[in-house]
């Protein structure tokens, strides 16, 4: 027997048995003799399950961040040691990320690629450091390229330098500043 549900024609398993007889004299299935219809999953549950699977797959993709700038090897090939000056190097490959601290004889271009997967700690997957050195006359002396494998781990010193003197409370600081301000006003009045 066929009945209409929401505009669709659906075979009603209670009305027709396996061998086609109505009433189910020779039917197989449940306790009443009627066949057991397979349960259909609701359409909304299927869509929700598909959306959940897509979201789970998207969570497996790492978040990639690129920091800094290091010129490509084709740009570095344009530089000519002994000929290029700091101005021509800047014109060809741009300004450096950082320069030497004491003297301006070395420029450093640093770029890093950091990947973060789900809730894991960020991991540096690629690092390029281009070191450009100048001689005393300001012309290009050398160009060096370093990678992540050339880096070294540096342990930071966590010790602190002790300072001598006494520690003041908040009230001592406030009243001390008022006393200093009062003496400065009095000193200004005597100088006039």
* Percent of all residues in the chain with a pLDDT value above 70, rounded to a whole number: 72
The alpha-carbon radius of gyration of the chain (Å, integer) is 39
CATH topology of domain 63-150: Beta-lactamase Inhibitory Protein; Chain:B, domain 1 (3.30.1450)
The per-residue pLDDT for range 55-68, each reduced to its tens digit, is 777 767 888 999 99
Spatial contact of 68 and 50, defined as CB atoms under 8 Å apart: no
For 175, phi then psi, to 5°, come to -70, -30
Picking from 21, 154, 122, 128, the residue whose alpha carbon sits closest to that of residue 69 is 128
Picking from 83, 73, 82, 97, the residue whose alpha carbon sits closest to that of residue 145 is 73
Q: What element of type H or E holds 146?
A: strand 140-147
- The pLDDT, as a whole number, for residue 151 is 82
**Tokens coding 165:** 């003197």
Q: How confident is the model at residue 27 (pLDDT cuts 50, 70, 90)?
A: very low
- The pLDDT, as a whole number, for residue 76 is 92
123-134/106-116 β-pairing: antiparallel
pLDDT at residue 153 greater than cutoff 80: no
As beta bridge partners, residue 106 has 133
Task: Return the domain boundaries, the chain.
Answer: 63-150
Q: How confident is the model at residue 104 (pLDDT cuts 50, 70, 90)?
A: confident
- pTM equals 0.53
């Amino acid at each position: 027997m066929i009945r209409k549900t929401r505009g669709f024609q659906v075979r009603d398993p209670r009305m027709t048995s396996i061998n086609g007889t109505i009433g189910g004299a020779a039917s197989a299935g449940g306790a009443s003799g009627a066949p057991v219809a397979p349960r259909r999953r609701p359409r909304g549950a299927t869509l929700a399950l598909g959306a959940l699977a897509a979201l789970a797959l998207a969570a497996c993709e790492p978040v990639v961040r690129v920091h800094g700038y290091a010129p490509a090897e084709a740009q570095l090939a344009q530089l000519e040691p002994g000929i290029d000056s700091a101005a021509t190097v800047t014109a060809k490959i741009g300004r450096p990320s950082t320069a030497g601290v004491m003297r301006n004889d070395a420029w450093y271009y640093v770029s890093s690629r950091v990947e973060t997967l789900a809730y894991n700690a960020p991991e540096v997957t690629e690092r390029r450091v281009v070191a450009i050195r100048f001689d005393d006359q300001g012309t290009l002396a050398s160009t060096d390229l370093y990678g992540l494998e050339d880096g070294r781990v540096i342990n930071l010193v966590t010790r602190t330098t002790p300072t001598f003197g006494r520690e003041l409370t908040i009230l001592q600081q406030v009243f001390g500043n008022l006393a200093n301000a009062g003496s400065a006003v009095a000193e200004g009045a005597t100088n006039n």
